[in-house]
Homo-oligomer: A and B are copies of this chain.
């Protein structure tokens, strides 16, 4: 239980109401009880303020007049909520040591504060920093390096030689450092191009469940500091992702493409290989990027669904466009005469 005063101090806010009121965790405006903290960020939820039973609500100054409850006023309610929720949901991460079922090569350097869970496998020459948690059934192949405070939830595979920074969070099923898709056509048969690069993951990165990040063909694949990657994303060999870029679920990025800092790729976006995307680019859902982008801003190509009957008709029309253009040209010529 935390008092509103303690929370307000943590999130840089000002309490309106009972500073000593205590809350246990967070909830939505609609479901929160008196021992729960809520927030108002999206104005379409303003209507739920009046009837809310929340112990307190985090709001911006301009919404304070609508709040019949205890409030904590902040500059950015969503960011403040994130920080408050983190405060109220701290993992009690006081476990240390190595589970007896873990298999760890003798030739490793593990900080004494690490926690290695059941069924983990760790190869030789692995280095693990302070307060790292390696969850159940994770695999760290030879030569992996992991910085302080990083956490692998469970069933994460880190391939040989991959380097991971500090404060990184990796979700189950992620595979970091599998071979890139390098093949050469030798008279009709594909032969493997050895993938001798590695992967470097920066600090403060989050990597979603079942996401794959391939090792480089010769040099390394690089994920910058602060990058956040959702589930089922595929990042091919030698891709470079700039700092604080976010990548939503099911994105695929082909080999050697470089993405700038502070970009945002929405769900299902695909980028072909060898592109340069500058800083500050947003790509909307399911777009296909086939050329480099040199100007910051929003880009799109995904087509929105419509009733199938109408879609059929539009596809037919689309394929007749060439003829339609020819007909218009002919009309123009006839009019001129």
Report whether B325 and A324 are in contact in the complex, using a CB–CB cutoff of 8 Å: yes
Interface centre among A76, A83, A232, A331 (most CB of B within 10 A): A232
Report whether A305 and B290 are in contact in the complex, using a CB–CB cutoff of 8 Å: yes
Report whether B318 and A314 are in contact in the complex, using a CB–CB cutoff of 8 Å: yes
| Closest B residue by C-beta to A121 | B136
Cα–Cα, bound, A287→B28 (Å): 32
Report whether A218 and B270 are in contact in the complex, using a CB–CB cutoff of 8 Å: no
Cα–Cα, bound, A268→B181 (Å): 14
Q: Which residues of B contact A318 (CB under 8 A)?
A: 303, 314, 318, 321
| Closest B residue by C-beta to A230 | B181
Report whether A28 and B335 are in contact in the complex, using a CB–CB cutoff of 8 Å: no
A4 on interface, CB distance cutoff 8 Å: no
Interface size on A, residues (CB 8 A): 122
Report whether A304 and B290 are in contact in the complex, using a CB–CB cutoff of 8 Å: yes
A208 on interface, CB distance cutoff 8 Å: yes
A93 on interface, CB distance cutoff 8 Å: no
Q: Which residues of B contact A83 (CB under 8 A)?
A: 191
Report whether B288 and A285 are in contact in the complex, using a CB–CB cutoff of 8 Å: yes
Cα–Cα, bound, A83→B267 (Å): 38
A284 on interface, CB distance cutoff 8 Å: yes
Q: A interface vs B, CB < 8 Å?
A: 25-28, 31, 76, 78-79, 81-83, 85-86, 89, 99, 101, 103, 117-119, 121, 136-137, 139, 141, 153-155, 157, 159, 169, 171-173, 175, 178-179, 181-186, 188-194, 196, 204, 206, 208-210, 212, 214, 218-219, 226, 228, 230-232, 234, 236, 244, 246, 248-250, 252, 254, 262, 266-268, 270, 272, 282-291, 297-309, 311-315, 317-322, 324-325, 327-328, 331-332, 334-335
The 9 closest A-B pairs by CB, nearest first: A298-B308, A178-B209, A103-B118, A121-B136, A157-B172, A301-B305, A300-B311, A317-B321, A181-B230
